Amino acid sequence: MMRRFAVIATLFAVMTLCSTDLTVAQTQPAQPAPPADARPMFATSKVEGTDNVYIFRYQNHQSMFVVTNSGVIATDPIGLRRPQAVTTYVDEIKKVTDQPIKYVIYSHSHYDHIAGGKLFKDLGATFVAHRNAKAQLEKFPSPDVVMPDEVVDNERTLNLGGTMLELLYVGRNHSDNSLVMRLPKEKLIFTVDFIPIQTLLFRNLPDTASPPEWEASLQRVAALEWERMIPGHPYAGGRLGTKQDVMDLIGYMQDLAAEVKKAAAEGKCIDTAMKEVKLPKYENWGNYANFLPLNVERYCYLNNGF
């Protein structure tokens, strides 16, 4: 009985609070809206200093496409639960060239980047992904994801209309099947999800087998020859990445590992460490407040041997 009374009392308090808020909202002058996403829904831009490399952004995902006089190499369809992203992507390519879309290269197996490729398939594109991506998609098939036609193991070079595009596997990181796409002449790479720019790692690193292997894969990327990186999400104001960004991310992972190791030695893993570990050096990075505890959680597991 007491409990029921408490629930009713709480409900009443909540209702009072809501109606109070409503009154305040009605009597206060209109506040400026919170900074909504002011960008247009999508944008296509040619990468400065190149003749034929483009970035297609739809909401918060981006893909690279390369136009040659023997056809187009597209990457991730980025059409999960939004088929209009894919029709827009194809329309944007058609605005630039009449050449057919010959290839779609998957950056990795996550649906938010690769769902929606059917339209490209219908237009005759050949789909390429890392071997482990195909295995993953066979394990978890989705009607929205086109199965790769061809797979890459460690390395493959596509030559199309005078453009060379390398597809490189640098080891397990954010997934076990991420490809680095490198344009040697343009000194550009396209990487998705495993090199966030001045941004923390995603949540508690889902689908990541080994954070140390991730770090090793970053060292391999840093050792490649390139100058600018196109990421799969627009980070840090939408700029391209640099090798310094890769080194900074390695530094973040090392600082995180060291702090969590200390917390683990003091018996604070997992919950206390999630609350207490701070890395103020990175507090201006994207998702610092919301993802740091989750990054700590993942590194606590590492200290427990998994």
Q: Which of 102, 110, 268, 298 binds Zn ion (CB under 5 A)?
A: 110
- Closest contact distance (angstroms) between CB of 187 and Zn ion is 25
Is residue 228 within the footprint of Zn ion (CB under 5 A)?
Answer: no
Binding window for Zn ion (CB under 5 A); candidates: 9-17, 31-39, 57-65, 106-114? 106-114
Q: Is the dihedral of CA 193, 230, 100, 132 positive or negative?
A: negative
Distance between CA atoms of residues 298 and 116, nearest Å: 31
Q: How many helices (H) and strands (E) does the chain have?
A: 9, 12
Q: Scan for tokens 């597209």, then name that residue.
A: 74
- Closest contact distance (angstroms) between CB of 112 and Zn ion is 7
DSSP 205: -
Binding window for Zn ion (CB under 5 A); candidates: 3-11, 44-52, 78-86, 190-198? 190-198
- Closest contact distance (angstroms) between CB of 8 and Zn ion is 46
Q: Which of 76, 193, 245, 297 binds Zn ion (CB under 5 A)?
A: 193
Q: Return the SS3 of 287.
A: coil
- Closest contact distance (angstroms) between CB of 193 and Zn ion is 4
For Zn ion, the binding residues in 265-284 under the rule CB under 5 A are none
CA 267 to chain centre: 33
Binding window for Zn ion (CB under 5 A); candidates: 49-57, 62-70, 110-118, 129-137? 110-118
Is residue 233 within the footprint of Zn ion (CB under 5 A)?
Answer: no
Instruction: Count residues near Zn ion (CB under 5 A).
Output: 2
DSSP 199: B
Is residue 76 within the footprint of Zn ion (CB under 5 A)?
Answer: no
- Closest contact distance (angstroms) between CB of 233 and Zn ion is 10
Axis crossing angle, helix 243-265 with helix 211-223, rounded to the nearest 10: 160
Q: Within a 10 A sphere around the Cβ of 259, how many other Cβ atoms?
A: 17
Tell me the CA distances in angstroms from 173 to 81, 149, 195, 202, one per residue in order: 26, 24, 9, 12
Is residue 176 within the footprint of Zn ion (CB under 5 A)?
Answer: no
Is residue 297 within the footprint of Zn ion (CB under 5 A)?
Answer: no
C-alpha gyration radius of the chain: 23
Using alpha carbons, select from 91, 60, 82, 83 the residue that is nearest to residue 74: 91
| Of residues 102 and 108, the one with the C-beta less far from Zn ion | 108
Binding window for Zn ion (CB under 5 A); candidates: 7-15, 18-26, 132-140, 185-193? 185-193
Is residue 130 within the footprint of Zn ion (CB under 5 A)?
Answer: no
Do 105 and 63 meet the contact criterion of CB atoms below 8 Å apart? no
Contacting residues toward Zn ion, per CB under 5 A: 110, 193
